[in-house]
Amino acid sequence: MTGNKELLLKAIRNEATPRPAWLPFVGVHGARLIGTTADRYLQSADLIVQGLRKAHELYRPDGLPVVFDLQLEAEVLGCQLKWAQEAPPAVVSHPLEKGKLADLPTFDFSQGRYPIVKEALQTVKKEIGDRTALYGLITGPFTMALHLLGNNIFLAMFDEPEKVKQVVSLATGIARHASDFYLENGADVIAVVDPMTSQISQDHFREFVTPYANAIFDHVRAQGGLSSLFVCGDASRNLEAMCRTSCDNISIDENIPLDRLRDLTRQSDKSFGGNLKLTSVLLLGDSDDARLDAIRCMDVGGSCGFVLAPGCDLPFAVPSENLMAVSEMVHDTYKREVARRTIITKAAEHSGELQLPDYAKEQVVCIDVITLDSSSCAPCQYMMDATQRAAKASQVPVRMVEHRITTREGIAMMKRLGVANIPTICLDGKPEFVSLIPDQNTLIEALKACARKKGCVP
């Protein structure tokens, strides 16, 4: 058996299962499996099918996403994309920064890459849909609104809340239509992926996210589908609010303790998913690291309503051996117990080798931005964009470096600076804005304060 669709659907419905459901979020990683690039992969139904076919063969999953691309809707609505060879495309223009809602193109599933997704979904449904649950991933309404408005959305939430709500409402309508598109073409679960909600307060989550997300989840349920709310990034501050939405499942990444999510979802009669470590284990670790992290998650998750999954879209270059090791722990109880008893956790600690700058002696304000990877992580992308804009507007001398924790050096820098969550902005060696994108004025004033302290104000 290469998958158990019904087991995953039972887990999503918060029912007991003999083992955890296994859901590798294979996005552009599918391109690597078949020896092509992410940009080619996401623009070809045939390549997507080949990648999913290979992932199904190697990883024996209970479920798979058709594509993991939070730019599909934005592309149709006129956002320009920057393509990459090892990551999904990034949104680089925001039509509503200066334009009006009425100027946006009509949303139409014959446009953009939706015909490609439709063909891929229908093909994999015929090939593996009887034994593997297929996920349709849609961009959450708040993240979609940010794609359209740009970073201005954060100030507008205070200054022009009704304008923001109009855009979020538009995005909600599109998300409902997108859920119909996936369900009608064979998807079993609709995942609303809204990573930018990790950047807002609880009050703003309740005001700008909850009613709109519920409209999607209630619509999916009315169509006979199951739904998941998936927030990459440190969504700790909004976890309780997420659990009070009307979705069936909550999925989180490694920033959040899995046991905390387990306890909260049990109170709200929801299932939960997560939270294999993407970079330090799946990307940069070895098979034994992957086995131990899978065991960690499975021990916490238990046997009711739990879906074992990575914390976000799998990085392109994750070694197949690591994901196969996770699959082995899921499917083979004996090997799981052997691993639990005999594998010694490797301390791949590189931070001691890293020499930090002498920040006090630098004649510029040193900005270190710790990210997953701004080319593929939406909160990281928008934090980098906000920092670059503020640095330019502040007119103070700065040196800015992005440290991606998809590299060992990035992980080491994260540890040396004492950063616990991503993305985070550090100023002169101190974490200042932790997993929260500051408004421009706040960030500009912080840069000027650092410059005055060092005597390097122009």
Q: Tens digits of per-residue pLDDT, 231-252?
A: 988 888 899 999 999 999 999 9
CATH pick for 5-342 out of 3.40.30.10, 3.20.20.210, 3.90.1150.10, 1.10.10.10: 3.20.20.210
Q: Is the pTM of this model over 0.85?
A: no
pLDDT of residue 411: 79
Q: What sign does the CA torsion over 192, 196, 202, 203 have? A: negative
**Which two three-digit tokens encode residue 16?**
């007991």
pLDDT of residue 315: 94
| φ, ψ dihedrals at 13, nearest 5° | -80, 5
- Residue carrying the six token digits 């992308």: 381
The span from the CA of 417 to the CA of 370, in Å, is 9
In sequence order, what DSSP letters do the residues of 5-54 get, joined into one string?
A: HHHHHHHHTT-B-SS-EE----STHHHHHTT--HHHHTT-HHHHHHHHHH
* Extents of the domains making up the chain: 5-342, 352-454
Nearest to 405 by CA among 277, 293, 287, 319: 277
Q: How many CB atoms lie within 10 A of CB 114?
A: 19
Mean pLDDT computed over 273-299: 90
| Tens-place pLDDT, residues 378-413 | 888 889 999 999 999 999 999 999 998 877 788 788
**First vs last C-alpha separation in the chain:** 67
CA–CA–CA angle 378, 379, 383 (5° rounding): 115
**Which two three-digit tokens encode residue 256?**
């959040």
pLDDT of residue 458: 63
Confidence of residue 3 (pLDDT cuts 50, 70, 90): low
Nearest to 48 by CA among 58, 61, 38: 38
In the three-class reduction of DSSP (H, G, I as helix; E, B as strand; rest coil), residue 432 is classed as strand
In the three-class reduction of DSSP (H, G, I as helix; E, B as strand; rest coil), residue 331 is classed as helix
| Tens-place pLDDT, residues 38-87 | 999 999 999 999 999 999 999 999 999 999 999 999 999 999 999 999 99
Q: How many CB atoms lie within 10 A of CB 5?
A: 19
**Which two three-digit tokens encode residue 355?**
């020499």
In the three-class reduction of DSSP (H, G, I as helix; E, B as strand; rest coil), residue 253 is classed as coil
Contact 175, 144 (CB under 8 A): yes
Largest CA distance in the chain: 67
Bin 274: left if φ > 0, else alpha if -120 < ψ < 50, else beta.
Answer: left
In sequence order, what DSSP letters do the residues of 107-118 get, joined into one string?
A: P-TTSTTHHHHH
Contact 49, 120 (CB under 8 A): yes
Q: What is the DSSP letter of 104?
A: S
Say whether pLDDT at 296 is over 60. yes
β-strands 398-404, 365-371 pairing: parallel
| Tens-place pLDDT, residues 91-124 | 999 999 989 999 999 999 999 999 999 999 999 9
Contact 423, 372 (CB under 8 A): yes
pLDDT of residue 343: 59
CATH pick for 352-454 out of 3.90.1150.10, 2.40.37.10, 2.60.120.10, 3.40.30.10: 3.40.30.10
In sequence order, what DSSP letters do the residues of 356-392 get, joined into one string?
A: PP-GGG-SSEEEEEEES-TTT-HHHHHHHHHHHHHHH
Q: What is the DSSP letter of 304?
A: B
